[in-house]
């Protein structure tokens, strides 16, 4: 007796399908909004820290060469981890790696505010850079993954909007906090929105390994 031909079943699992497969049109926008918060937060924080740099130099008695390491150490640390983003995302899962990077960034933002010397501030900035470096590339990756090919231009426009508006707002907020409160508040200002962003990532993003 002949058996009917079996209909192949679609494969499922962490290594198959992309974010778009798991996200309908409404969920797609939730994912986009979630990653845009962190994609906006990191460049805003960086610009605000640069605005607060002269006050840091005064408080810790740093000369210009020493103060430049507050910015340079972050950039170098972030650049070092970028080549490993694909491997780490595939090993841990993109959401897990994204949360770890955000957590490292937010935690060391708070520790920068508690720094007691120039060297301690630079050390915390290195750790902050290790967390902040992957955020922008992964934000772009998530946006390009959840939007279909005909909307990739829209996704990149959203990414560019966050990357542009973050530094603009960071200059204003950083200048105000430095002038009327303290440079330490510039570091603390990313903690609350960063924690909110971590919670949203855990709630909204699937943990794929594509």
CB within 8 Å of 153: residues ≥ 6 apart: none
C-beta separation of 126 from 115 below 8 A: no
pLDDT of residue 24: 56
Tell which wins on pLDDT, 33 or 118.
Answer: 118
The separation between CA 142 and the C-alpha centre of its own chain, rounded to angstroms, equals 12
DSSP 8-state assignment for residue 50: H
Q: Average per-residue pLDDT in the chain?
A: 82
SS3 154: helix
Pairwise CA distance, residues 75 & 174, whole Å: 19
User: What is the C-alpha separation between 33 and 47, in angstroms, rounded?
Assistant: 22
Per-residue pLDDT reduced to its tens digit, 140-184:
888 888 877 777 787 778 778 877 888 888 889 988 999 899 999
H or E element at residue 29? helix 25-51
Read off the pLDDT of each residue in 46-69 and give the average, rounded to a whole number.
89
Give 2-41 pLDDT, tens digit per residue.
444 444 444 344 443 444 444 456 677 888 888 888 888 8
Q: Please count the CA atoms within 13 angstroms of the CA of 80 that sit on its side-chain side.
A: 12
Question: How many other C-beta atoms are found inside a 10 Å radius of the C-beta of residue 43?
Answer: 21
Give residue 154's pLDDT: 79
pTM, to two decimals: 0.82
Confidence band (pLDDT; 50, 70, 90) for 209?
low
Q: Give residue 121's pLDDT band: very low, low, confident or very high (50, 70, 90).
A: very high
pLDDT value of position 26 = 66
C-beta contacts of 65-73 below 8 A and 24+ residues apart: 66/118, 67/118, 69/122, 69/125, 70/118, 70/121, 70/122, 70/125, 71/125, 73/122, 73/125, 73/126, 73/129
The proportion of the chain whose per-residue pLDDT surpasses 70, expressed as a percent, equals 86
Q: Which segment of 3-7, 42-46, 71-75, 83-87 scores lowest on mean pLDDT? A: 3-7
Mean pLDDT for the stretch of residues 80-107 = 91
Predicted pLDDT at 30: 82
107 neighbors 58 (Cβ within 8 angstroms): no
Q: Which residues contact 178 (CB under 8 A, 6 or more apart)?
A: 51, 52, 55, 186
């Amino acid at each position: 007796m002949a058996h009917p031909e079996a209909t192949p079943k679609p494969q499922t699992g962490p290594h198959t399908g992309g974010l778009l497969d798991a996200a309908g049109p409404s969920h797609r926008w939730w994912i986009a909004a979630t990653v845009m918060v962190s994609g906006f937060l990191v460049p805003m924080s960086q610009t605000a820290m640069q605005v607060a740099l002269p006050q840091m130099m005064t408080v810790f008695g740093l000369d210009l060469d020493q103060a430049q390491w507050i910015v340079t150490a972050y950039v170098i640390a972030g650049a070092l981890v970028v080549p490993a983003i694909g491997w780490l995302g595939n090993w841990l899962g993109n959401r897990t790696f994204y949360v770890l990077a955000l957590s490292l960034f937010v935690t060391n933002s708070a520790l920068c505010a508690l720094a007691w010397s120039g060297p301690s501030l630079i050390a915390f900035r290195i750790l902050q850079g290790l967390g902040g470096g992957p955020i922008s590339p992964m934000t772009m990756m998530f946006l390009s993954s959840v939007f279909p090919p005909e909307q990739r231009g829209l996704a990149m426009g959203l990414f560019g909007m966050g990357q542009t508006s973050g530094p603009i707002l960071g200059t204003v907020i950083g200048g105000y906090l430095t002038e009327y409160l303290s440079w330490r508040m510039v570091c603390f200002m990313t903690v609350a929105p960063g924690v909110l962003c971590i919670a949203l990532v855990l709630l909204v993003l699937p943990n794929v390994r594509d």
